[in-house]
Amino acid sequence: MSREADDAPTATAAEAHAQAASREEAAARLPGSLEEFLAGIGTRAFRFAELGLRHRDDSLDAVQDAMMKMLAYRDRPAGEWTPLFWSILRSRIVDTQRRRTFRLRWLSPAPERDDTALDWADDAPDPSRAFDGREAYGRLAEALSALPRRQREAFSLRVLEELDVATTARAMGCSEGAVKTHLSRAREALQRQLEDWR
């Protein structure tokens, strides 16, 4: 019994040391300024918005609006910027989708669909590799667009953006359990949709 009691504090001290090291590593990765943070997240934010809105100009507007709103939170600790930004962007995308649905319902007899191709500008030296990458991303984007909104958001933030469950939950405004459920359903649906392409 005393041996277990002796081991317990050591395990706790080791865990505390690991957590401290993890916090130090995370702090080292934090951007030095809000401008640096926004510059580093722009491309990924645009891809996230484009998956939700399927329209280049609307996606650019949503990202720009989210970045402008983030300027009001300049005084917040850098560790809060990531979930806050994704939450703001997500809300902006949802607002744009609602306005678009409202306009289509009242102003046009039938819903219109924008099938404009994505701009695949690429400076890669190997054309075949670039084509494969574009085709893979196009298939993934198409499969993601078929998912329900919450599943698409969970997959994009957890897998594509590599946010942890807690940060994703804060960005989506839901519980961690809900994030895991949405992510699990999204993965199952994507596996079914992409199975033929593999």
pLDDT block averages, 10 residues each, the chain of length 198: 47 61 56 88 92 88 93 91 92 85 54 51 51 66 87 89 90 93 91 70
Is the pTM of the predicted complex or chain greater than 0.85?
Answer: no
Indicate the residue type of 82: T
Cβ-contact 150, 139 below 8 angstroms: no
Burial zone of 129 (CB within 10 Å; 0-12 exposed, 13-18 middle, 19+ buried) = exposed
Q: How many helices (H) and strands (E) does the chain have?
A: 8, 0
User: 111: closest CA among 37, 42, 27, 54?
Assistant: 54
Q: What is the pLDDT of residues 133-169, one digit of tens each?
A: 567 667 778 888 889 999 999 998 988 888 899 999 9
